[in-house]
Amino acid sequence: YIEQLFTNKLDCSIHPYFERLANLKVSSHFLIDRMGKLTQFVAINQRAWHAGQSSFCGRQACNDFSLGVELEGSDHQPFTIAQYRMLGKLHNSLAERYPVLWNREHIVGHSDIAPGRKTDPGPFFDWHYFFELAGIATDK
């Protein structure tokens, strides 16, 4: 159902759990599933609706100036090695076009731009491992 959610094609009447998502309009530039499969939903030169009410470095409305990458998972389970590997590859590809992405300060989770409202990538996300795969030095 995750791909249906990010393309706004989810039939929220099929299960009571989905009812709270009925009027939600979301999208993301990219999704990396548990097997490491990368799916692109929105072109990188277009706005995706992944951040919602948010701010970063004093700028509001992060959807207007950011790229959204979703990892299939939850706050209660570690991400897979395949997801990290694909995320590292995606980062490096995007950083060729957007060199600012070589600066770790410009790579944040939804929990950083919308604290209290968003929790992802969550406590199981291994920032050090991701930055290592991406070739970025870090102390995060």
Catalytically active residues, by annotation: 70
Q: Which domains does the chain have, with CATH numbers?
A: 2-134 (3.40.80.10)
Residue listed under structure tokens 């990538």 = 121
The pTM assigned to this predicted structure is 0.89
Mean pLDDT of 89-115: 96
* pLDDT single digits (tens) 40-76: 999 999 999 999 999 999 999 999 999 999 999 998 9
